[in-house]
């Protein structure tokens, strides 16, 4: 029924990926933040077609270490964003798996 209504917008942000794990709704800024494989997306809630993207991959050395440990380089050796949390009025706190070496950072939001 929703598909027939033409009110659905498909998002094709990451080709061949369904790794959208973490969501944070920021009503104050009218944004939806989505954590994915090597990316964080920021969608405008007023016009959901408008979005920004932060690319946050693992380093080549971490990816190589993951591969040498016997992990699948395409499916496991990436930075899967698992935590998105409003930190204060200007920053988000974000954490990713970092190819089995967890990493966190603060992201300034406008």
Domain ranges of the chain: 18-108
Query: Any idea how long the chain is?
Result: 110
16 falls in which pLDDT band (50, 70, 90)? low
**Are the C-beta atoms of residues 90 and 109 closer than 8 Å to each other?**
yes
Q: What is the pLDDT of residue 3?
A: 65
Identify which has the larger pLDDT, 20 or 76. 76
**∠37-55-64 over CA atoms, to 5°?**
65
Note the pLDDT tens digit of each residue in 60-109: 999 999 999 999 998 899 999 999 999 998 999 999 999 999 999 999 99
By the 10 Å C-beta count (0-12 exposed, 13-18 middle, 19+ buried), 21 is classed as middle
What pLDDT was estimated at residue 21? Answer: 80
Please tell me the predicted confidence (pLDDT) of residue 86. Answer: 95
pTM of the model: 0.84
Average pLDDT over residues 12-21: 66
pLDDT in tens, 53-69: 999 999 999 999 999 99
Distance CA 39, CA 30 (A): 20
């Amino acid at each position: 029924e929703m598909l027939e209504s033409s009110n659905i917008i498909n998002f094709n942000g990451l080709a061949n990926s369904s790794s959208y794990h973490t969501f944070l709704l920021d009503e104050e800024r009218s944004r939806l933040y989505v954590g994915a494989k090597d990316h964080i997306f920021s969608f405008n809630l007023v016009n959901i077609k408008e979005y920004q993207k932060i690319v946050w991959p693992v380093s080549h050395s971490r990816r190589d270490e993951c591969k040498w440990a016997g992990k699948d380089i395409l499916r496991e050796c990436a930075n899967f964003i698992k935590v998105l949390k409003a930190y204060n009025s200007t920053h988000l706190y974000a954490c990713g798996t970092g190819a089995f070496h967890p990493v966190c950072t603060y992201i300034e939001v406008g």
